[in-house]
Amino acid sequence: MTARLSLSFAPDARIWRAIALAVTLAGALAIAATYYTFSNTYEEPTHIAAGVEWLSGRYDYDAQRPPLGRIAAGIGPYLHGERGASAGSPAEDGARILGRGAHYRTTLALARLGELPFFILLCAIVWCWGRRLSDERGAAIAVLLAATNPSLIAYGGLATTDIALAATLAAALFAFVVWLDAPHWAAAISLGAAAALGVTADFIALPMLCLGLPAIYAVRRRANGAALWSGAPRWRSGLTVTLTVATAAITGWALYGFSIGSVVDGSVVQVPAPGWFRGLLSYLTDTTARPAFLLGERSSTGWWYYYPVALLVKTPLPLLLVTTLGAAAAARDFVRRKAAEPAAVLAAATAVLIVGAIAGEDAGVRLVLPVLAMLPLLGAIAAIELWQASGRSAPTRRLVRATVAATFAAALIVPLRAHPDYLAYFNPIAGDRPELILVDSNLDWGQDLYRLGVVMKRMRIDSIAVAYYGSASLEAAGVRDARLLAAAERPRGWIAASQTMLAGVGGEGAYEWLNELQPVGRVGSSLVLFYLPPRPRRYR
């Protein structure tokens, strides 16, 4: 395999561009179709409140999260007339902004719409990177594998910071690859802007870039046997680095309103964007233990293998298959020094995964979502090599090509079968009870209250207790005649319980007694319905 795969069989490039565009638009429509299906997930009210607050001229809520994705979540509600208020917490302000009833549903949908451009940006980056690795066909294949991934669709439809992190980090890594080969002013500006957007989407982007960029450079240098820009005038190298850093600084500063102040209260040292530095300091020094769940076990410290397991069961099997083959091909060519860029993709994805494991926030595959933006690139490499491999007999070649075609047909079927429960998608490796492997934002993030209201109306349930893992108000989401189930209660009648509560992660294990009961049914993917008949009356 060469650094740039040649596709002599490729038809008109315009056809493949049209395919890539069509798949991207189909993914965007699939995302939009979920806006009114799910109630707010756990973190959405906080992000919406922070975004509206930023648009209202302040940014004081929850310093551990930078503003980029939150601004996007706040645009729709802000244009709808919502404004920030000095509430006791961002969650309270988010609940006030969302309101209840029809206002709740409309405002939540508008907030989610603000994240859609990040999904489109991610597909565009995948297309550009795939085209660089091969050509138009490889780019279209990569976009198809990305835009049909239920996890990317799911987080593209939520008003959180996750899809913003995935898109901007992928953009920064790709911009770095381009910058290494062509350190002109446009590449320097692109890299600086993308890196700044990444670290203002989520602080975890900083260590991901700090490990991912050197990994890409190391792969390139070993393959090429030369240092960065060897032979170029030193002044030109210094100028492009300066331009990159300056662009990053100005872009990041702009997102903090060009503010100047002290990082520590009382300090005389003034810095640009002090909010970013304060947030980073808070993020790095946060030692709060958060319960995690994996393979039936709970832990407050997590597992180093959490994300490999999560990716194994949350990645569609067609993508998992071709990615494995593409990673093997990239490693093979890197060892033989035949190509650097496919191996650079593999190195970058590995670096992101390592950072996720070290960070120890085992709270869902969403925290390593940038990996899922890069796996399609490796999958496209494998598909192309398999399709045009020479030296095989005609029957074998036909069989291989039929297998490749069937793999991509399966990739298209995956989101159709998963719709609209993209968030709770697991591949067949997880079996029939994925809640025994992962919960939290992988399966149950409080998203099924709309459905609970529908089920109650259909089954004529006039009273229900809910062990709910989420931040939504039951009444605001339209669930009437319902109340939250207290930890010490053992009520009779109808009970709905979140899978995360049943796993003992939410509620500190207070609701695990419900696992001894026989479920009546399920509400969506996240809620389990139980019924305990009233105790028989005793007559004297």
- pLDDT by residue (tens digit) across 119-174? 999 999 999 999 999 889 999 999 999 999 999 999 999 999 999 999 999 999 99
Q: Of 68, 38, 273, 63, which is closest to residue 157 (Cα–Cα)?
A: 38
Q: Is the pLDDT of residue 439 over 60?
A: yes
Q: Is 284 helix (H, G, I), strand (E, B) or coil?
A: helix
The two beta strands, 271-272 and 527-532, are unpaired
Residue ranges per domain, the chain? 13-33+116-418, 44-113, 444-532
Q: Is 483 helix (H, G, I), strand (E, B) or coil?
A: strand
% of the chain with per-residue pLDDT over 90:
66
Element (H, E) at 113: helix 101-113
Of the pLDDT bands very low, low, confident and very high (cuts 50, 70, 90), residue 359 is confident
Q: Of 244, 303, 252, which is closest to residue 280 (Cα–Cα)?
A: 252
pLDDT in tens, 303-331: 999 999 999 999 999 999 999 999 999 98
Q: If you average pLDDT over residues 24-34, what whole number do you get?
A: 97
DSSP state of 423: T
Residue 181 Ramachandran class (φ > 0 left, ψ -120 to 50 alpha, else beta): alpha
Q: If you average pLDDT over residues 497-526, what whole number do you get?
A: 91
The two beta strands, 482-484 and 521-523, are unpaired
Q: Is the pLDDT of residue 190 over 50?
A: yes
Residues in Cβ contact with 338 at an 8 Å cutoff, skipping those fewer than 6 apart: 1, 2, 3
What does the H/E/C string look like for 307-337? Answer: HHHHHHHHCCHHHHHHHHHHHHHHHHHHHCC
DSSP state of 430: G
Q: Is the pLDDT of residue 199 over 80?
A: yes
**What single string gives the DSSP state of each residue in 10-58?**
---HHHHHHHHHHHHHHHHHHHHTTTTTS---TTHHHHHHHHHHHHTT-
**With a threshold of 0.85, does the pTM exceed it?**
yes
**What single string gives the DSSP state of each residue in 253-266?**
HHHTTT-EE-SSTT
Q: If you average pLDDT over residues 189-213, what whole number do you get?
A: 95
Of the pLDDT bands very low, low, confident and very high (cuts 50, 70, 90), residue 84 is confident
